[in-house]
Chains A and B, each alone.
Chain A
Amino acid sequence: KQEVTQIPAALSVPEGENLVLNCSFTDSAIYNLQWFRQDPGKGLTSLLLIQSSQREQTSGRLNASLDKSSGRSTLYIAASQPGDSATYLCAVRPSIQGAQKLVFGQGTRLTINP
């Protein structure tokens, strides 16, 4: 059974720092990995999607990498801002035929201090 882990559960850093969020998964048989942010009381906003054949994706100050063989992904946030404060979730889609669900990690709650 695929399991997704995000460590740490919470992270607090001063504004302007570069930071890395970690995601690990137990089964390397995946179609893709997706990073989301969730603001309090809100839904999930898709940030980046990495297909299993890709190594990384970039969007603005965000860069996500994928190492399928080791079961790891990282989300790099450059020059962090208070507006980046949110919970960040990673999710993998297993490549089992017919399986369309995402398996989510518990999330990392990020606080950027002005």
Chain B
Amino acid sequence: NAGVTQTPKFQVLKTGQSMTLQCAQDMNHNSMYWYRQDPGMGLRLIYYSASEGTTDKGEVPNGYNVSRLNKREFSLRLESAAPSQTSVYFCASSVETRSSGPQHFGDGTRLSIL
């Protein structure tokens, strides 16, 4: 069982470069999420997609864009990377039909912006 798969696992960028983080889940989940984790700040929601074809802003969406490519895939794009976006990024998914189910997380992408 792959669960939630994120690529790449590590990346170093220069300020101003762009990049897309990829996420795919094989659990037939409806909802998908992007979080960032920073020391002292905990995990914060960037964007989420309640279902295929919809996306919504979370707590810290500035500087990011997302695409829900299909039910399986949800990508996060940094158009012009800034040092403040250095973080660990996690993708998660949940079934979210009539009941609220657990969120399942990927292993993360460790991103450094120089």
Given the interface contacts A100-B31, A101-B33, A107-B42, does A42 sit within 8 Å of B100 by beta carbon? no
From A101, which residue of chain B is reached at the shortest CB distance?
Answer: B45
Min CB distance B43 to A, Å, is 4
Min CB distance B102 to A, Å, is 4
Compute how far the CA of A43 lies from the CA of B48 in the bound complex, rounded to whole angstroms. Answer: 18
Does A109 sit within 8 A of B, measured CB to CB? no
Does B105 sit within 8 A of A, measured CB to CB? yes
Does B107 sit within 8 A of A, measured CB to CB? yes
Compute how far the CA of A45 lies from the CA of B14 in the bound complex, rounded to whole angstroms. Answer: 31
A-B pairs, top 3 by smallest CB distance, nearest first, are A101-B45, A44-B105, A43-B107
Compute how far the CA of A45 lies from the CA of B102 in the bound complex, rounded to whole angstroms. Answer: 10
Compute how far the CA of A13 lies from the CA of B54 in the bound complex, rounded to whole angstroms. Answer: 46
Which residues from A are CB-within-8-Å of B53?
none
From A45, which residue of chain B is reached at the shortest CB distance?
Answer: B105
Partner of A49, one of B59, B101, B108: B101
Which residues from B are CB-within-8-Å of A104?
42-44
